[in-house]
Structure 1
Amino acid sequence: MPKKGTLHQRIENFKKMKPDYSDAADALLATKWIGNVGSHEDALKISDVLDGAEMINFALVEIYDTSRDAVKRMAADITARKGMPARKLPGVVPPGT
């Protein structure tokens, strides 16, 4: 199934459709520009390519890494329990009982 629009247009559309991922879209767009220069010019340095790889990594983490959400849930759970262990431990009596 062919993609609709240029890569640039698809990245811009992604940014509009998923505003929470605008930073990732910006990184992808910058990486696209690096790729364009690499394809059509003889001007890239290794550091430019490494910058592109770092931006791709950033975009992937922004879009797919859920560890931040897991830590937020864990913090909310611990706060709701006021720090008490999630499971009753044998021989431990919670304060106030």
Structure 2
Amino acid sequence: MSRTIFCKKLQKDAEGIGFKPFPGELGERIYDNISQEAWQMWLEHQTMLINEKRLSLMDEDTQKYLADQMDKFLFGGDYDKADGYVPEGK
């Protein structure tokens, strides 16, 4: 059964995520306030950051960096973009 939430990223009513995607208070905020569509946008942005900045997910600093970027991306803030990145097909 899907649920509808008001997505803070997209500023519209949309289908909510079907699971808590991150631990702790941030995971609760994401579950309650971020749509499936916006979460997918974050996953694509995260993948781009990992690839373009050559980040190692084994590194604790990288994990903290990505959590901070996720918060900024989803809830408003000045999040990082990869310099010179051009999405495929553009």
Q: Report if TM-score (shorter chain) is over 0.5.
A: no
- Which structure: greater strand fraction? 2
- Which structure: greater helix fraction? 1
TM-score in terms of structure 2 length: 0.29
TM-score in terms of structure 1 length: 0.27
In our comparison, the structure showing a higher alpha carbon Rg is 1
